[in-house]
Structure 1
């Protein structure tokens, strides 16, 4: 650990595989503790943050007493967000226990009293109400009540060097009375081809745990060079196997197109083709940032130039996880970890701005 970083102690709640933590470490924050109840995500976190202590348990049962051994600079985290997602039409109310997990985040901030906090969540939270009160406003008032100056904003990952059009709500607070300003947008976008164009050519269902880059480091794009900086070879080049009729459908879909380009005679198992979500069977556009990488296997996101789904490493690249970052668990759990993560480069931009106030 660098001497300059010793006072920048961080705690990650609802940490997942560690997207927020990785961005924080890139900026100069030392992650000391993480809380994550999913065993596979917690294993990924332990694999990549060897100096951090990981509590793999229900946060509601975890006391904050053991996390107060030294002053904490920042607490970060994204409480479970499925209940706030605009795609969730069944439990977008406070009867969903996941929608109350922000209470645990507030508890940790109140008890541990960090200098800063970063609360991250889906855009849908801005539209969510509990009775007549907007839940975002309620959360911000809770933080102000315990002594924090608060500011919030919807940030787009593609504005901060991430090759993906993903928007997330960030609520940032500090107890020093600082009126936090969010980082300025970058003056460039990173495309899908720039992000993954040097990764191995793969087939449907292929598993290549260690592959070879298709071009040299010097020939790679600046983004690919950033991803390859600490890696000699791309790992976890794993493509889920789709059935032959699914691959046949892919052949009819051009870049930027979706299921609507598939001939009707190949969609016989769909009762009503017109009711398909626009994000299903979406082929990425090589020259533009990706659409949102959520559960990319279930939505059947298609490689821009190959008739197959995305590999684990390609999806990780589109989320801005570097190639040395290893995910643990069965492939379906790994895919979900990637889809749930905060893009590290987006987190890095926010954390660097916070550190600029020191």
Structure 2
């Protein structure tokens, strides 16, 4: 039997994919998911079934809706990370910081034996981490936490994320965490397969021709380009392989934004090209804007496409995304890389099954 899973703040289901799909962990079954983004929920339903709901999580912690929370072995999810993010300059007092509270309410309502919270690095330094651990203890959970690099677990992206794992001390053996890496930046030293690279994931794709999502088979349905201005195209061409905004300034100062010229430090990824032989940088929700990060194609004079971004997150081509271009980009950028989720899933599944084996 597979372990029953609830995914809160599920997005399109990148984390669920890592837990439930046989190509990843495959030892879990999704029974309920909740998110407040309708397009993301539609994607979740398209991939995992019609048990996902678009709603405010706080409505599901009391009354009639609370009674509809199904029993589950595990609750996973990432309360919105903007409240902890260093990119949020006004993060102190951000209401989104408290969404872990209804998350923990649903952990209790579901009778889960394990929970997994995923978030940005800032969570591990935040007061909320201690509050989560305190609430977990009152519910009978022991906790541990770690910072994981998704590239260490087979994702083609150096995305660093914080995880808090909780387990019912009376029902589950201690979780061995963090999981052992499956890939390495130094395979000669570790004996592990090397990190997966940009070339591994997107080198086979042809140059994109269209400008919109198309009703054609994957991968070309999401493999479309932007329509840059003449000035933007000149800027792209001024950035050499591996380069960034400083190369643009050296090679074409006349078309470099004045604010970049005035800012002589920081932002080394802005207007940068991805490297063929490395994993991608963190894919965010506006990866189609090279001024937001290192999102230019390694060779072609354009930003990466939605399909390329999805592959660099670790999504297989068969994964279904629904919505507009902006909505799909948001789903991709907000997702948990499925390969990293799978590593966590395997560690959790091992301890969930240990007690059953001993009882048998």
C-alpha distance after superposition, 1:263-299 (max 9, x if no partner): 2101245475426733321210000001110121232
Moved over 6 A (4+): none
Matches within 5 A, 1:52-131: 52-62=50-60, 63-68=65-70, 71-90=71-90, 92-93=91-92, 95-128=93-126
Name the counterpart of 2:8: 13
Partners in 1 of 2:53 and 2:213 — Cα distance? 32
Partners in 2 of 1:330 and 1:108 — Cα distance? 31
| Pair 284,81 (structure 1): closer, same or farther in 2 beyond 3 Å | same
SS in 1 for 2:347: helix
Matches within 5 A, 1:233-244: 233-244=219-230
Name the counterpart of 1:38: 37
Partners in 1 of 2:216 and 2:203 — Cα distance? 14
| Pair 121,351 (structure 1): closer, same or farther in 2 beyond 3 Å | same
- 8 Å CA contact 2:97–2:128 kept in 1: the answer is no
TM-score normalised by the chain length of structure 2:
0.85
Matched, 1:195 2:188: no
SS in 2 for 1:88: coil
Q: How many residues align?
A: 323
Partners in 1 of 2:220 and 2:339 — Cα distance? 19
Correspondence for 1:330 among 324, 343, 353: 324
- 8 Å CA contact 2:297–2:304 kept in 1: the answer is yes
Matches within 5 A, 1:1-358: 4-5=1-2, 8-26=3-21, 27=25, 28-50=27-49, 52-62=50-60, 63-68=65-70, 71-90=71-90, 92-93=91-92, 95-128=93-126, 134-175=127-168, 176-181=171-176, 182-186=178-182, 187=192, 188-203=194-209, 206-207=211-212, 209=214, 233-262=219-248, 263-268=252-257, 270=259, 272-274=261-263, 277-295=267-285, 296-298=287-289, 299=292, 301-357=295-351, 358=353
Partners in 1 of 2:31 and 2:226 — Cα distance? 35
SS in 2 for 1:190: coil
Unaligned runs of 5+ in 1: 129-133, 213-230
- 8 Å CA contact 1:210–1:234 kept in 2: the answer is no
C-alpha distance after superposition, 1:55-95 (max 9, x if no partner): 10111112321023xx41111000011111012112x11x2
- 8 Å CA contact 2:274–2:280 kept in 1: the answer is yes
- 8 Å CA contact 2:288–2:305 kept in 1: the answer is no
- 8 Å CA contact 1:151–1:171 kept in 2: the answer is yes
TM-score normalised by the chain length of structure 1:
0.85
Partners in 2 of 1:87 and 1:208 — Cα distance? 29
C-alpha distance after superposition, 1:181-240 (max 9, x if no partner): 12101122001001111122225x63463778xxxxxxxxxxxxxxxxxx7x54311223
Partners in 2 of 1:34 and 1:250 — Cα distance? 41
SS in 1 for 2:304: coil
Partners in 2 of 1:14 and 1:328 — Cα distance? 17
Considering fraction of residues, name the structure with more helix.
Answer: 2
